[in-house]
Amino acid sequence: MKAPHENNGMSRRRFLTLAGGTAGAATLAAMGMAPGWGENRAAFDPDNMDQKTHQTDVLVIGGGMAGLFAAVKAHDAGARVVVLSKGRLGASGQTPFAKGIFAFDAREAGMSLDAFVAEVSRSALGTNNPVYTRQMAEHSAARVAELRDWGFFDSPLCNKAFSRPMEARGIPLIERVMVTHLIEHEGRIAGAAGFTLDDGHLIQVSAKSVVLCTGAGGFKPNGFPICDLTHDGTVMAYRIGAKVTGKEWNDGHPGQAQNPAACFDGWHGMFERKPDVTGVDVRHDLGVELNYVAYTKGAPLPPGPPDRLLGRLDGGPSRPRGFDRPHGPPPPGGGWLTGGPIHRPPLPGADGGAGGGPGGDKGPPGMRGAPVGGSSAGMAIHKSEGLVPINDRCESNIPGLYAAGDALGSYMAGAIYTQIGSSLAGSAVQGAVAGEAAAGYSRGVPMPSVPADKLAQVENEMLAPLRREAGYGPAWVTQTLQGVMIPNFVLYIKKESMLNAALAYIEELRDHHLPMLCAGDLHELRLAHETANMILSAEMKLRASLMRKESRCSHFRIDYPEMDDANWQAWINIHQGADGQMRLEKQPFDRWPA
């Protein structure tokens, strides 16, 4: 076994000296940053890794809100559970930054459950799955009550509260594991495999069922804390035949021109707040509006909410009647700061001028000013992208494979932000539903036994980037991908020619660069797999965007600016054909997949 990691022998002092002084390729190489193409001198020996195997009924992948509830509820339903997480429990993905959680209370809302579901559906222009909308609202209060018991609302940090129910139940949790493969055998799920980031063990888990709680993802954008989310779950599942949906929708969060990469500062200290509970407040938060105005008028944008600007422009994204105040006056109880599907950051200048954002005083001077787009590039609307559910139990088309939260394309909220705080609540609710369903499923099936040659193939694919003697560094390929996908004229303001142009680039990365990704250590090995996942996700986003020849909710085609109900009362599902090609198909809004 090797030492926990290969330290390149650089002290902080030396590091600072180098970084401050002699910049350039030599420095970057010494710091372990991937030089792009070139010789790969692996500092980690892939042929000398220990393997650890586990067996369990339910394997939960992901340690955020959905993963927590999936694990807890599967355990409580009598299943043996193992949790693998890329980061730390409650400290990775989007959960640490989600500060509002929705709890439906008919009496307090003065609104029945039916009325709530109808109101969400009206705002979502039919894109939501009302079964999941209802499920989220119905169970939200119970999940919030459990979270309260565990101390979730007592700290801005989730790890302690999340650890409480896990430790009480003795659920095994393996953190800092990069899962690279879902394993399918004889037409059903059989487990997963990955490697640990610190000590470089191979981890292989045989499981009767798997719950993907791997969150959404993006293109490691600057300005949104999702750089660890690269659609790993979606792409792993796609590769073993699962159907994926929702790739044409866009999260349109803006960032700030000054220090756009500083997520913490851009959110004005919101990360340091304790979470709280939100009530019914159905809206139609359309992130593309700002991007449309910026695209049409150029930057910088004049201060003020984008709806005011939109009135002066022809065309552009439209809203359903009654939801025409995108960033209106703050609702009682805090406005922007309590609001947002994952507690969205205030728009710079949203309330009447630079620096006027609530809580803005916590940001250093210069953090505000003109908004810029693409801060969450590559991410769709919460709960709209991910595995296609075949029923209301979060089950995918692969027997035994479940998904919950942002890894499940449940369309709980539709293809647009409709209810403040429902994203976090939905993850909790769906995690619980999926956990119980997976536990039930695993009672009826034997433990799968995967042939050794299949496992050897998985291991080979997993470690290939370490073994390549030359190739492309994942950081460079990611940068190239970002350069293609993040500009506002590709995914935000879409048109046929640009989508095709971008697709040509992405196909090049897929066919030529992805097979040549190399890694010098375990960190880079993780980056190599993340990069490969982002490339496939980019292809899905472009193909789905090309296919949907209309504009609806957060998908805006400047060449098809109108909503087309005759042809597009449908979601787009993507799967891998027998020939390995990406196949796209429609699924009508009111039906489960065939």
Partner 1 sequence: MAISSIDGCIGCGTCVQSCPTDVIRMDPRTGKAFIQYVADCQICHLCRMYCPVDAISITPDKSIPVVVSWG
Partner 2 sequence: MRSDTDRCRLIAAASMLLLPPLVLLTRGDYPGRSLLKETLSMLTLGAFFLLFGQFLLGRGARFAPEGIRFGRLLNLHKIIGYSVVSLLLVHPFLIVLPRAFEGGVSPGDALMQILTTLDSLGVVLGMVSWVLMLVIGATSLLRARLGLDYRTWRLLHALLSVLLVVVASWHAIELGRHTDAAVALLVVMLACAAVLVVIRQAVYDYSNPLSQTRGARP
Q: How far is the CB of 264 from partner 1 (least distance, A)?
A: 4
Of residues 32, 38, 156, 330, which one binds partner 2 by CB under 8 A? Answer: 156
Q: How far is the CB of 28 from partner 1 (least distance, A)?
A: 5
Binding mask of the shown chain, residues 456 to 495, with x at each position contacting partner 1 by CB under 8 A: ----------------x--xx--x----------------
* Number of amino acids touching partner 1 (CB under 8 A): 59
Residues written for the chain:
594
Binding to partner 1 (CB under 8 A) within 371-400 occurs at none
* Beta carbon nearer to partner 2, 160 or 495: 160
Please provide residue 440's backbone torsions phi and psi, each rounded to the nearest 5 degrees. Answer: -65, -45
Residue 505 binds which of partner 1, partner 2, none (CB < 5-8 A, kind-dependent) = none
**Cα–Cα distance, 168 to 150 (Å, whole number):** 11
Alpha carbon 557 to its chain centroid, in Å, reads: 23
**Cα–Cα distance, 525 to 44 (Å, whole number):** 10
What's the one-letter identity of residue 475? A
Cis omega (within 30 of 0) for bond into 300 = yes
Query: Is residue 261 a contact residue for partner 2 (CB under 8 A)?
Result: no
Of residues 38, 269, 304, 331, which one binds partner 2 by CB under 8 A? Answer: 269
* Beta carbon nearer to partner 1, 43 or 570: 43
How far lies 451's CA from each of 184, 185, 459, in Å?
11, 9, 13
What's the one-letter identity of residue 14? R
Alpha carbon 18 to its chain centroid, in Å, reads: 35
> Does residue 19 sit in helix, strand or coil?
helix
> Does residue 401 sit in helix, strand or coil?
strand
Q: How far is the CB of 516 from partner 2 (least distance, A)?
A: 40
Binding to partner 1 (CB under 8 A) within 90-129 occurs at 91-93, 96-97
The strand order across the sheet containing 244-245 reads 386-387, 244-245, 570-576, 582-588
* Number of amino acids touching partner 2 (CB under 8 A): 9
Q: How far is the CB of 34 from partner 1 (least distance, A)?
A: 8
Q: How far is the CB of 60 from partner 2 (least distance, A)?
A: 25
Q: Which two tokens stand for residue 491?
A: 């995914």
**Cα–Cα distance, 133 to 116 (Å, whole number):** 9
H-only helix segments in 344-473: 422-443, 452-467
Using the contact rule CB under 8 A, the part of the chain among 24-32, 114-122, 188-196, 551-559 near partner 1 is: 24-32
Of residues 39, 272, 559, 565, which one binds partner 2 by CB under 8 A? Answer: 272
* Beta carbon nearer to partner 1, 194 or 317: 194
Residue 244 binds which of partner 1, partner 2, none (CB < 5-8 A, kind-dependent) = none
Residue 228 binds which of partner 2, partner 1, none (CB < 5-8 A, kind-dependent) = partner 1
Q: How far is the CB of 14 from partner 1 (least distance, A)?
A: 10
- Show Cβ contacts of residue 127 under 8 Å, excluding neighbours closer than 6 positions: 384, 411, 414, 415, 416, 552, 553, 571, 589
* Beta carbon nearer to partner 2, 154 or 511: 154
Q: How far is the CB of 414 from partner 1 (least distance, A)?
A: 28
> Does residue 114 sit in helix, strand or coil?
helix
How far lies 324's CA from each of 87, 286, 582, in Å?
39, 10, 37
> Does residue 211 sit in helix, strand or coil?
strand
* Paired sense of beta strands 417-419 and 282-285, if any: antiparallel
**Cα–Cα distance, 131 to 411 (Å, whole number):** 9
Instruction: Give the other-Cβ count within 10 Å of 374's Cβ.
Output: 27
DSSP-assigned letters across all residues of 359-394: TGGGSPTTS-SSEES-TTTT--STTTSEEPPSSTT-
DSSP-assigned letters across all residues of 520-548: SSHHHHHHHHHHHHHHHHHHHHHHHHHH-
Binding to partner 2 (CB under 8 A) within 498-517 occurs at none
Binding mask of the shown chain, residues 234 to 263, with x at each position contacting partner 1 by CB under 8 A: -------------------------x-xxx
Compute the Cα dihedral for 554, 559, 562, 567 and give only its sign.
negative
Query: Is residue 505 a contact residue for partner 1 (CB under 8 A)?
Result: no
Query: Is residue 271 a contact residue for partner 1 (CB under 8 A)?
Result: yes
Residue 263 binds which of partner 1, partner 2, none (CB < 5-8 A, kind-dependent) = partner 1
Q: How far is the CB of 524 from partner 1 (least distance, A)?
A: 9
Q: Classify residue 511 by its DSSP letter.
A: I
Q: How far is the CB of 198 from partner 2 (least distance, A)?
A: 15
> CB of 273 within 8 A of CB of 99?
yes
Instruction: Give the other-Cβ count within 10 Å of 347's Cβ.
Output: 22
Of residues 37, 153, 489, 505, which one binds partner 1 by CB under 8 A? Answer: 37
Using the contact rule CB under 8 A, the part of the chain among 131-139, 169-177, 271-279, 288-296 near partner 2 is: 271-279
Using the contact rule CB under 8 A, the part of the chain among 84-92, 143-151, 291-299, 379-387 near partner 1 is: 84-92
Residue 160 binds which of partner 2, partner 1, none (CB < 5-8 A, kind-dependent) = partner 2
* Beta carbon nearer to partner 1, 363 or 448: 363
**Cα–Cα distance, 247 to 503 (Å, whole number):** 14
* Beta carbon nearer to partner 1, 7 or 567: 7
Residue 274 binds which of partner 1, partner 2, none (CB < 5-8 A, kind-dependent) = partner 2
Q: Which helix (H) or strand (E) holds 45?
A: none
What's the one-letter identity of residue 308? R
Q: How far is the CB of 66 from partner 2 (least distance, A)?
A: 24
Query: Is residue 148 a contact residue for partner 2 (CB under 8 A)?
Result: no
**Cα–Cα distance, 286 to 282 (Å, whole number):** 13
What's the one-letter identity of residue 256? Q
Residue 259 binds which of partner 1, partner 2, none (CB < 5-8 A, kind-dependent) = partner 1
Where on the chain is the footprint of partner 2 (CB under 8 A)? Answer: 155-157, 160, 269, 271-274
Where on the chain is the footprint of partner 1 (CB under 8 A)? Answer: 3-5, 7-8, 10-12, 15-16, 19, 23-25, 28, 31-33, 35-38, 87-88, 91-93, 96-97, 156-157, 159, 175-176, 197-198, 220, 222, 225-228, 259, 261-265, 271-272, 364, 367, 472, 475-476, 479, 523, 526-527
